[in-house]
């Protein structure tokens, strides 16, 4: 049996697309392996959100060639799309496939590496949550962002009927939680008549057997009143949002091309926490954007302290080709960017612990993702990592009482509630 392995870098969209490729190839009789195993074909799904992501993509390509010398290596994803010629020139690469042709990869493999024998009919997955891609493309053109060049500048939404069919199939395969994903998910339905993210959430949550619903990162200005009401009232929608706020300084936000200020961010947080004081947030932050002074940076720090997020994804600014900001002076020295990043890391760890402490004494449901050494770990509905003092099968939803924090981190310690 011919084998295929996958390495996925970057966002949930890439994860979804990898799993769809794995699903199709598995159905056609190929053995899907982990990235640690040698395979006939190795598919590397790349990211280009930062220069560090570009570097990691190149490193991964070289690493996989060293580990898997005889494999046919296909590189796809956003970095392969924006820097096609650069990737094509790498001696470790056999083929480069841009995002717009990614769906053709199974056909390419079937032509070059035909299989014989029994066909496996299963849905391979590397997660306990099912990532459901509902939208592609971004028409916002923020001044720092290269993604519209990798994913296209047109919004491409998947119709609700198709989404429901795929989610139903995933639930029937055993998934209990679904994450709605999009490059710019807040714009879902902008290219369709009488379709919106609110309607998508309402319809998806009606699927029998689905227990939890989340969505990927969203811009603050896309979370309108109707969406807030839906998030609050929908029993299946988890009380967590990932907000790509990027900065807490209004002048920097304006230079970035964002369509909100710090007051809009705080207003949204307040609205959702009025409905549920434990409502959780994770955020994206860029440090060292052109023109960001130390004072502006601390505007961001102060905003984050008010949000009290569970996670902060921190990126040091790096100029991305073809973006507006790449034409400006990158005036924040590298050493200062690193200093701000390290400071923010310390702040975020303290804030995550403070937020996690609010859960102590509560009872919540945890979806188990893995177990080892007599313990199980998973996420609660607030997207807070939880370790349970029992060995529980993966993909099990279990009720536990939160008794403390593990090793003074933001990881909750839970004990099983037994009848």
Q: How far apart are alpha carbons 410 and 245 in whole angstroms?
A: 22
Q: What are the backbone angles phi and psi of residue 238, rounded to the nearest 5°?
A: -70, 145
Residue 124: the pLDDT is: 53
Q: How far apart are alpha carbons 73 and 61 in whole angstroms?
A: 8
Residue 419: the pLDDT is: 42
Final residue in a domain of this structure, among 54, 78, 112: 112
Residue 411: the pLDDT is: 97
For residue 392, give its domain range. Answer: 363-416
- Number of domains observed in the structure of the chain: 3
Q: Is the dihedral of CA 146, 77, 100, 167 positive or negative?
A: negative
- Do 371 and 345 lie in a common domain? no
Residue 119: the pLDDT is: 44
Domain for residue 117, yes or no? Answer: no
- List the helix and strand counts (H, then E) for the chain: 13, 17
Is 398 in contact with 375 (CB distance < 8 Å)?
A: no
- Do 214 and 163 lie in a common domain? yes
DSSP summary character for residue 237:
B
Distances (CA, A) of 338 to 7, 48, 344: 28, 20, 10
List the alpha helices (DSSP H) in 243-293. 250-256, 262-275
- Do 169 and 293 lie in a common domain? yes
Whichever domain contains 215, its CATH number is 3.80.30.20
Residue 128: the pLDDT is: 84
- Do 104 and 233 lie in a common domain? no
DSSP summary character for residue 59:
H
Whichever domain contains 92, its CATH number is 3.40.50.12160
Q: How far apart are alpha carbons 1 and 118 in whole angstroms?
A: 9
Q: Which residue has the tokens 């100029």?
A: 319
Give the E-state strand segments of 193-331 in sequence order: 212-215, 240-246, 280-287, 311-316
- Do 189 and 338 lie in a common domain? yes
Domain for residue 118, yes or no? Answer: no
Residue 254: the pLDDT is: 98
Among 353, 360, 261, 345, CA closest to 303: 261
Q: How far apart are alpha carbons 91 and 103 in whole angstroms?
A: 24
DSSP summary character for residue 144:
T
Distances (CA, A) of 285 to 80, 222, 242, 288, 311: 25, 18, 11, 10, 11
Q: How far apart are alpha carbons 111 and 107 in whole angstroms?
A: 6
Among 246, 265, 349, CA closest to 306: 265
Q: How far apart are alpha carbons 103 and 24 in whole angstroms?
A: 10
Which residues of the chain fall below pLDDT 50?
Answer: 118-123, 419
Is 280 in contact with 309 (CB distance < 8 Å)?
A: yes
Q: How far apart are alpha carbons 327 and 249 in whole angstroms?
A: 21
CB atoms within 10 A of CB 257: 16
- Do 160 and 274 lie in a common domain? yes
- Do 182 and 221 lie in a common domain? yes
- Do 353 and 369 lie in a common domain? no
Query: pTM of the full predicted structure?
Result: 0.91
Q: What are the backbone angles phi and psi of residue 418, rounded to the nearest 5°?
A: -110, 140
- Do 69 and 218 lie in a common domain? no
The string of DSSP codes covering 69-117 is: TTSEEEEEEHHHHHTHHHHHT-TT-SEE--GGGGGGHHHHHHHHS---S
Is 365 in contact with 380 (CB distance < 8 Å)?
A: yes
Which residues is 315 bridged to in the sheet?
Answer: 286
Residue 408: the pLDDT is: 87
Whichever domain contains 378, its CATH number is 2.40.50.140
- Do 223 and 260 lie in a common domain? yes
Q: How far apart are alpha carbons 265 and 173 in whole angstroms?
A: 38
């Amino acid at each position: 049996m011919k084998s295929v392995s996958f390495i996925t870098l970057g966002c949930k969209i890439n994860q979804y697309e990898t799993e769809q490729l794995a699903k199709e190839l598995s159905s056609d009789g190929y053995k899907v392996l982990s990235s640690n195993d040698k395979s006939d074909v190795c598919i590397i799904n790349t990211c280009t959100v930062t220069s560090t992501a570009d570097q990691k993509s190149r490193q991964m390509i070289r690493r996989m060639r060293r580990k898997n010398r005889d494999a046919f290596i296909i590189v796809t994803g956003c970095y392969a799309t924006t820097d096609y010629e650069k990737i094509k020139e790498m001696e470790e690469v056999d083929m480069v496939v841009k995002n717009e042709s990614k769906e053709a990869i199974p056909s390419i493999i079937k032509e070059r590496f035909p299989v014989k024998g029994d066909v496996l009919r299963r849905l391979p997955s590397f997660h306990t949550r099912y990532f459901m891609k509902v939208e592609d493309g971004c028409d916002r053109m923020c001044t720092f962002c290269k993604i519209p060049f990798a994913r296209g500048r047109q919004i491409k939404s998947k119709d609700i009927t198709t989404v429901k069919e795929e989610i139903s199939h995933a639930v029937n395969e055993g998934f209990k939680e679904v994450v709605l994903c999009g490059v710019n998910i807040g714009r879902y339905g902008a290219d369709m008549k009488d379709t919106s993210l609110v309607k998508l959430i309402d319809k998806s949550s009606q699927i029998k057997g689905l227990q939890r619903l989340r969505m990927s990162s969203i811009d603050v200005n896309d979370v309108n009143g109707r969406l807030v009401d839906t998030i609050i009232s929908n029993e299946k929608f988890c009380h967590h949002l990932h907000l790509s706020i990027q900065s807490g300084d209004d002048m920097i936000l304006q230079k970035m091309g964002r369509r909100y200020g710090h007051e809009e961010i705080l207003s949204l947080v307040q609205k959702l926490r009025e409905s549920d004081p434990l409502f959780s947030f994770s955020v994206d932050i860029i440090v060292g954007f052109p023109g960001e002074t130390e004072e502006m940076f601390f505007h961001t720090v102060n905003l984050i302290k008010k949000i009290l997020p569970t996670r902060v994804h921190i990126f040091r600014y790096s100029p991305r080709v073809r973006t507006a900001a790449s034409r400006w002076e990158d005036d924040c020295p590298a050493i200062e960017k690193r200093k701000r990043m390290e400071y923010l890391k310390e702040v975020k760890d303290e804030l995550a612990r403070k937020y996690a402490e609010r859960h102590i004494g509560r009872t919540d449901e945890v979806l188990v993702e893995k177990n080892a050494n007599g313990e199980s770990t998973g996420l609660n509905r607030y997207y807070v990592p939880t370790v349970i003092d029992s060995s529980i099968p993966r993909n099990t939803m279990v009720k536990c009482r939160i008794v403390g924090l593990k090793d003074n981190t933001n990881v909750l310690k839970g004990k099983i509630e037994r009848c």
